[in-house]
Amino acid sequence: MEVILSEKEKQYLLSTIRDIKGFPKPGIIFKDITTLLNDAKAFNFLMEHLEQRYKSYNLDFVAGIDSRGFIFGAALADRLKIGFVPVRKKGKLPSTTICEKYELEYGFDEVEIHIDAFCSIKNPRVLLIDDLLATGGTAKAASTIIKKTNANLVEMCFLIHLKEFGGLKKVQKNAPVYNILEV
């Protein structure tokens, strides 16, 4: 049976996330997850949920998106006793990488991973995780490079899905999606 949260549990987690209006620019409501992270009970509740959901997925790696995806991704990988792979913004990884460009409101950005990140396991099963799905540009690019390595992208997980930006359609083409909270 699929492990998901009840409405009450979702409301509880949502109540620990803070809205900051006008950050980083006017018109944006920034979902600040630092208040969830510094609430020991809420952070533990979230990580317990992720462990319960993913312990039966036979995953080999958790890949986390720069930078808040690193926090949940690394904590989950440790709980599942598997490896963690950072998907980084361009120019941060020291060895040979695969990269993918994606469009921002104004201009482009790029994410990359080490080309040998999943090499220790044959046909690796990978979960991709980030804190938030908005337009889907970042997650689409991240999932595309994971698939380029021939890894098996089993699922993408987002703590918060901001439905109004329509990103779900874009990323669902690459793998199934689990959104913990819908806003």
**Residue 71 or residue 115: which is nearer to ligand AMP going by CB?**
71
> DSSP label at 134?
S
CB count within 10 Å of CB 116 equals 11
Distance in angstroms (rounded) separating the CA atoms of residues 31 and 138: 16
**Residue 126 or residue 160: which is nearer to ligand AMP going by CB?**
160
Distance in angstroms (rounded) separating the CA atoms of residues 58 and 37: 27
Provide the minimum distance between the beta carbon of 74 and ligand AMP in the complex, in angstroms, as a whole number. Answer: 15
Q: Give SS3 for 30.
A: strand
Provide the minimum distance between the beta carbon of 122 and ligand AMP in the complex, in angstroms, as a whole number. Answer: 30
Provide the minimum distance between the beta carbon of 5 and ligand AMP in the complex, in angstroms, as a whole number. Answer: 20
Q: CA nearest 176: which of 158, 162, 164?
A: 158
Distance in angstroms (rounded) separating the CA atoms of residues 156 and 153: 8
**Residue 135 or residue 172: which is nearer to ligand AMP going by CB?**
135
**Residue 61 or residue 102: which is nearer to ligand AMP going by CB?**
102
Strands 83-89 and 61-65: parallel
Looking at the chain, how many residues does it have?
Answer: 183
**Residue 19 or residue 116: which is nearer to ligand AMP going by CB?**
19
Provide the minimum distance between the beta carbon of 136 and ligand AMP in the complex, in angstroms, as a whole number. Answer: 5
Residue 24: asked if its preceding bond is cis (omega within 30°), the reply is yes
Provide the minimum distance between the beta carbon of 58 and ligand AMP in the complex, in angstroms, as a whole number. Answer: 26
Distance in angstroms (rounded) separating the CA atoms of residues 68 and 136: 15
Q: Which residues are at the interface with ligand AMP (CB under 6 A)?
A: 28-31, 65, 68, 130-139, 167
